Amino acid sequence: VERHTEFVAITQVVPEGLQFTEVADSQWIDRSPQDVLVLARVSSSVGGKMPADVEAVSTLRGGEVVAGSNFTEDNAGFTSWTVAFKKDPGDEAAGRLLQMILEIETYRTLAVMGMDRIRAVHPILQRVANHLPKEITETLDHDAMMKTLASLSAQESELHAVWEKLAWRIGANQAYHELVFQRLDQLKAHGLDGYVGIRHFLKRRLTPAVSTAETVLRRRSELAEQIDERAQLLRTQLQLNLQSQTRDLLANLDKSAERQIRLQSAVEGLSTVAIAYYAVGLISPTLEPFVEPAFKDWVKAGLAPVVIGVVWWTLSRIRNRVSHNT
């Protein structure tokens, strides 16, 4: 029994001349607490021959071993492998080689695990691609930009969900795929004349499936980059529009402040004249008894500039003090 991250491998050795059901209860498969992912039967002998139904055959360890498989499940769900040694390598060496063959079969199956979920992602990616904004232009108004940005955000969430669902699975499948061919390299597998080699068979049947999964992940990454680029363009355009609106608002505020200052100056000027007029009217009667009647108008004329200057100076002091306090 070997425990791995995703599975537990159980190997049952059946002595020559006996059947599996004679040494183990086949019902344990049905009673397994978890899904049974791989069922493989490996038959080994010294000087044996390959069955007629094998799909692929290769020599191993420099021609000292010939191994073949039909890569097809029988009625009981088992995939059959046949291993023929030219000479007896001993129990330990034979056990290691048979173990590696079982690993090839296990990793081969696990390398395509979850393909249904991976294929189910294709419509999602196609829908995202079809609804992706073709171009971002300055002609879009603010509401249209915000609507487009919300749509891009929703699409980004969909792609992120795809990543969370499949990234680990596809990565694991790639690792299992690499392990299959690592084991074949370690066994020095080469094709046998008259048969399809195991390496060639698996590259033709297994590698395209793994490549499909890689393509899904790559397509998802490409769409995510396109969405990010378009969202960034939209955010930049929105920021530029906001800056333009802020600049216009500040310009309007400056104009309003300038008009306010001019109006305030005009009001102050009128106030100065009005106050000076009333002040002259109040002060001149107190001075008229001390001057000749012929000079009364000259008194008013002389008081006017003085009073205007005093009033203007007083209002200026008041304005400056108020401005300083604020």
What is the C-alpha separation between 111 and 94, in angstroms, rounded? 26
Please tell me the pTM assigned to this model.
0.62
CA nearest 114: which of 40, 210, 19, 257? 210
pLDDT, residue 324, reads 65
Rounded-to-integer distance, Cα 168 and Cα 275, Å: 87
Q: What share of the chain is helix, strand, coil (3-state, %, to 5)?
A: 65, 10, 25
Contacts of residue 186, Cβ cutoff 8 Å, sequence gap at least 6: 100
Q: Reply yes or no on whether the pLDDT at 227 is more than 70.
A: yes
Lowest mean pLDDT among 96-105, 191-200, 236-245, 295-304: 295-304
The phi and psi torsions of 71 (rounded to 5 degrees) equal 50, 30
The Cα–Cα gap between 286 and 271 comes to 23
pLDDT for the residue numbered 94 = 87
Model confidence over 111-150: pLDDT tens digits?
Answer: 888 888 888 888 888 888 888 776 665 566 777 778 777 8
C-alpha distances in Å from residue 4, one per residue of 9, 35, 36 = 8, 15, 14
The predicted-structure confidence for 138-191, as pLDDT tens digits, reads as follows: 566 777 778 777 877 887 888 888 887 777 888 888 888 999 999 999 999 888
Model pLDDT, residue 325: 64
Average pLDDT over residues 252-258: 82
Is 201 or 129 the better-scoring residue by pLDDT? Answer: 201
Q: How far is the CA of 83 from the CAs of 141, 159, 261, 314, in angstroms? A: 72, 46, 101, 115
Separation of alpha carbons 130 and 145, rounded Å = 18
Q: Pick the closest to residue 162 from 208, 222, 110, 113 (CA basis).
A: 222
Please state, rounded to an integer, the average pLDDT across all residues of the chain. 80
Rounded CA-CA distance 233/122 in Å is 27
pLDDT attached to residue 183: 92
The pLDDT value given to residue 138: 56
**Domain locations along the chain:** 1-110
Distance CA 275, CA 307 (A): 9
Element (H, E) at 43: strand 40-46
The rounded distance, in Å, linking the Cα atoms of 53 and 69 is 8
Task: Report whether 81 contacts 105 (CB < 8 A).
Answer: yes
The residues facing 67 across adjacent strands are: 58, 83
Arithmetic mean of pLDDT, 222-236: 82
* pLDDT for the residue 184: 92
Q: What angle do the packed helices 122-130 and 207-287 form, to 10 degrees?
A: 40
**pLDDT score for 186:** 92
In percent, the amount of the chain with pLDDT more than 70 equals 83
Which pLDDT tens digit goes with each residue over 2-46? 666 666 676 667 667 666 666 666 666 666 666 777 777 888 888
Q: What is the separation, in whole angstroms, between the first and last Cα of the chain?
A: 85
